[in-house]
Amino acid sequence: MESRNQKILKELKSKSIISMGGTEAVSVAYSVAYAREKARGALKKIQITVDSSIFKNGLNVIIPGCEERGLDFAAALGYVCGRVEDKLQLLSHYGEEEIAQAKKLLAQGKLSIRIKDDCDKLYIETMIESEENAVRVLIQDFHLNVISEEVVTEIADLQEYELQKDLNYIKNAHLGLEEFLDFIEQVDIKELDFIREGLKYNLELGNYQNDQSLTSSFSKALARFQIQEDLITYTQNLCMRACEARIQGAKLPIMTAVGSANYGIGIYLSVYGVGSRLGVSEDQIIRAIALSNLTSLYVNSYVGSISSVCDCGFAVGIGTTVGTTYLLGGDYCAMERAVKNMLGSITGIICEGNRLKCAWKMGLSVSWAIKSALLAMESPQFESEGFLNNSLDNILHNIAQIYNPLSNTINQTIVDIIMGD
């Protein structure tokens, strides 16, 4: 029987996947490629249904290495050339011929995408109708989690499907910071080699140079006015540079965290930035990244893996402040103070989809995460009032009560605004 720490490691690894491009767009392409493998005969139509967060986040996403955008184009590429074995790197193998075929498929009007009403969790349903059969593939809760696949003679033969209960081990086992601290202190560092590998990928993206980027302009402004790049600014810029590069379609791999590319950028590079400037060992940085990763998984068990909440600002920020406090030598109580400082300041940032502004929201979050940790090391924290009452579990429950019932409404409003632009 697996021990608790073995289960935690398994959960951590399952959400740490090499990715390329916008995670939501790639996961939609993955679902189409998965269904296409079982389809037989000439294509009649592809119908894709997603939750409002997937739709919003993928609406404007740039396909890595080309100028095309959006969920529909990602889905078309998934049908034309997607290989299921590539997982979240599925959109890394294509050329001009495949782009032309994807454009042709869309021009024929054979692919449609719609939003699933009243769905508050990650949901991707792909139905492919071909001359010889019909296939349905359903992904739920995290990006590659295929929970159902059906092959029937006619599309009318597909049955209604009820969503599964929450599959989050962290939530179902009632784990929190104390258990995560126990895990990272006990785990053999060799078991975290996947994090060490992922850090190399994410650092390459963090060092990606683009003279036209907003982060580059910010660095030029610092130099112009002779403002030194301190620990906070260095870490902030490292994260923002990587986030901008990903959003602008840089064809470079990323190690995800919590199954998300932006999480991977924020968690890995913020903790690395702090640790490298503090001069701590690489092994300590790796353990701190694992702790930050698990903390973000814990936060997501309350607000969902994707939602109307800005992940760059919320879960990444909380994970960063915990990892930073750990690197500063803080104990559980200091980490709890840091999280309360963080939640008392950045709660309320809304996600408006995959855009360049994500990088700046991440920068804001990382900056305050480090400050929250530094403040916590001197003991102060926000008073326990409003939603900041009692334990972290209670606080996150309070925030979930605010956000979750409104998530679909917020997402739909943002989609309506974007579509009206």
Q: Which of 161, 101, 88 is nearest to 126 (CA)?
A: 161
Provide the pairing of β-strand 254-255 with 18-19: antiparallel
Alpha-helical segments (H) within 347-383: 357-377
- pLDDT of residue 403 exceeding 80, the answer is no
Q: E strands within 116-200? A: 123-130, 134-140, 146-152
CA distance 336 to 188: 25
CA end-to-end distance (rounded Å), the chain: 55
CA-wise closest residue to 52 among 413, 416, 412, 417: 412
**How does DSSP assign 62-131, residue by residue?**
BPTTSS-BSHHHHHHHHHHH--GGGGGGGGGS--HHHHHHHHHHHHTT-EEEEEPTT--S-EEEEEEEES
Helices (H), 15-51: 23-36
Rounded Cα–Cα distance for residues 271 and 198 (Å): 13
Task: Give me the pLDDT at residue 136, please.
Answer: 94
- To 5 degrees, how large is the angle CA 58–CA 370–CA 354? 10
Q: Report which of 275, 299, 277 is spatially closest to residue 287, judged by C-alpha positions.
A: 275
E strand or H helix that includes residue 9: helix 4-14
pLDDT band (50, 70, 90) for residue 9: very high
Confidence of residue 158 (pLDDT cuts 50, 70, 90): low
Pick left, alpha or beta for residue 19 (phi over 0 → left; psi -120 to 50 → alpha; otherwise beta). beta
CATH topology of domain 21-157: 60s Ribosomal Protein L30; Chain: A; (3.30.1330)
Whether 163 has a pLDDT exceeding 60, the answer reads no
Among the listed residues 289, 298, 322, the one whose alpha carbon sits nearest the alpha carbon of residue 170: 298
Q: What is the mean pLDDT of residues 156-175?
A: 68
Which architecture characterizes domain 169-420 according to CATH?
Answer: Orthogonal Bundle (1.10)
List pLDDT tens digits, range 247-278: 988 999 999 998 899 999 999 999 999 999 99
CB contact set of 259 (below 8 Å; sequence gap of 6+): 15, 17, 23, 142, 143, 144, 305
> 321 — phi, psi (to 5°)?
-70, -35
Cα separation, 405 vs 187, in Å, equals: 38
Residue type, 357: K
Q: Does the pLDDT at position 203 exceed 80?
A: yes
Residue range 36-48: mean pLDDT, rounded: 96
Residues of the chain with CATH 3.30.1330: 21-157
What are the residues whose beta carbons fall under 8 Å from the beta carbon of 218, sequence distance 6 or more?
237, 240
User: Can you give the pLDDT at residue 322?
Assistant: 97
pLDDT, tens only, 18-30: 999 899 999 999 9
* Segment (H or E) for 44: strand 43-50
Residue 324 in contact with residue 237, Cβ under 8 Å? Answer: no
> pLDDT for 292-323, tens place per residue?
999 999 988 888 766 787 877 888 999 999 99
What confidence score (pLDDT) does residue 364 get?
92
In the chain, CATH 1.10.4100.10 covers 169-420
Per-residue pLDDT at 165 exceeds 90: no
Q: Write down the pLDDT at residue 160.
A: 64
